[in-house]
């Protein structure tokens, strides 16, 4: 529990707006970023294949006389896909490629100011040595039929060295981020969910809790309870209801787990919020 919280804190960075509010941004972890990059690669590859197929069919339809302009269009299109895809999307309003958007992350400037185009360009040109160069070395070698183990290993080590760079620094930056003064942060789109303590449940009204029963838990447990209630998994609800019931000495019927927890959540939250207003933040059940 303690280590989990510490690792969560390790990726939090404060971002203080000019209005003086700390927005507490969370850095995207390596797995999320790898997923986003793979998605982008899939998109680029799909687009490249589509362009090539269209070009090939175009050639057949037109005959070799009109091949030339088509060839130019093809070369330029592939070039744009490779070099401009990332830059164009990240320089846009949402500062994220389609892949990043899907996993809910975006690029941001490390100093909190707006992201400028030259930063986006710098971070994406570096991808050339991070990913494409070792790949093209390997591909070129195998194309010539001289791909021996050594060059392949060398290429892979190089690629890994850069690919794993984000794991070796505190801010999860890759080389491009380091050069551009950027980092990648989580920017999920959340919807406003229902207020659990406003939930109308006729059975829940029958439960009453005493002061001592509400003092059994703190804010950390309240948030866990909220999670369980929102997940709404029957067995989890029952297990939690039993545990809480045992602790506060009031065991509900098995089929009453949900209304019991709803009622307890509402009461506990009101109780803790009242304490909060009076300046007493009860972080968890151990705090008096």
85-104 residues in contact with other proteins (CB under 8 A) are 93-95
Any contact of residue 21 with other proteins (CB under 8 A)? Answer: yes
Any contact of residue 138 with other proteins (CB under 8 A)? Answer: no
Are the beta carbons of 162 and 130 closer than 8 angstroms?
yes
Any contact of residue 119 with other proteins (CB under 8 A)? Answer: yes
User: Considering beta carbons, is residue 1 or 192 the nearer one to other proteins?
Assistant: 192
Any contact of residue 63 with other proteins (CB under 8 A)? Answer: no
Are the beta carbons of 249 and 212 closer than 8 angstroms?
no
Interface stretch with other proteins, choices 31-39, 42-50, 52-60, 73-81 (CB under 8 A) = 73-81
User: Considering beta carbons, is residue 243 or 255 the nearer one to other proteins?
Assistant: 243
Minimum CB separation of residue 51 from other proteins in Å reads 14
Any contact of residue 211 with other proteins (CB under 8 A)? Answer: yes
Q: Which of residues 164-203 bind other proteins (CB under 8 A)?
A: 175, 178-181, 187-193, 195-198
From candidates 32, 48, 51, 83, binder to other proteins by CB under 8 A: 83
User: Considering beta carbons, is residue 145 or 149 the nearer one to other proteins?
Assistant: 145
From candidates 155, 184, 204, 213, binder to other proteins by CB under 8 A: 213
Q: Which of residues 40-59 bind other proteins (CB under 8 A)?
A: none
Interface stretch with other proteins, choices 44-52, 53-61, 66-74, 234-242 (CB under 8 A) = 66-74
Residue of 79, 178, 77 whose CA lies nearest to 126: 178
Residue of 202, 208, 217 whose CA lies nearest to 258: 202
From candidates 105, 122, 204, 240, binder to other proteins by CB under 8 A: 122
Minimum CB separation of residue 104 from other proteins in Å reads 9
Any contact of residue 81 with other proteins (CB under 8 A)? Answer: no
Any contact of residue 271 with other proteins (CB under 8 A)? Answer: yes
Interface stretch with other proteins, choices 29-37, 127-135, 233-241, 254-262 (CB under 8 A) = 127-135
């Amino acid at each position: 529990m303690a280590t989990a919280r510490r690792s969560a804190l390790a990726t939090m960075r404060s971002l203080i707006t000019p209005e003086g509010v700390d927005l507490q941004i969370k850095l995207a972890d390596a797995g999320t970023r790898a997923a986003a990059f793979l998605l982008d690669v899939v998109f680029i590859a799909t687009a490249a294949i589509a362009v090539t197929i269209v070009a090939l069919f175009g050639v057949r339809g037109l005959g070799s006389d009109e091949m030339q302009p088509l060839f130019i269009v093809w070369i330029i299109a592939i070039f744009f896909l490779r070099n401009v895809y990332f830059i164009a999307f990240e320089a846009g309003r949402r500062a994220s490629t389609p892949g990043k958007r899907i996993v809910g992350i975006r690029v941001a400037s490390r100093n909190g100011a707006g992201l400028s185009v030259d930063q986006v360009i710098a971070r994406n040109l570096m991808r050339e040595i991070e990913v494409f160069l070792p790949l093209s070395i390997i591909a070129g070698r195998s194309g010539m039929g001289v791909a021996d183990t050594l060059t392949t290993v060398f290429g892979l080590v190089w690629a890994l060295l850069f690919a794993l760079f984000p794991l070796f620094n505190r801010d999860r930056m890759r080389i491009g981020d380091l050069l551009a003064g950027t980092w990648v942060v989580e920017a999920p789109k959340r919807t406003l969910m229902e207020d659990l303590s406003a939930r109308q449940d006729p059975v829940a009204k029958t439960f009453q809790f005493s002061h001592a029963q509400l003092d059994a838990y703190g804010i950390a447990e309240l948030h866990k309870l909220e999670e369980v209630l929102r997940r709404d998994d029957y067995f989890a609800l029952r297990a939690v209801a039993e545990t809480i019931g045992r602790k506060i000495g009031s065991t509900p019927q098995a089929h009453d787990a949900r209304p019991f927890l709803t009622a307890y959540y509402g009461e506990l939250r009101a109780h803790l919020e009242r304490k909060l207003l009076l300046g007493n933040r009860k972080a968890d059940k151990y705090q008096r």
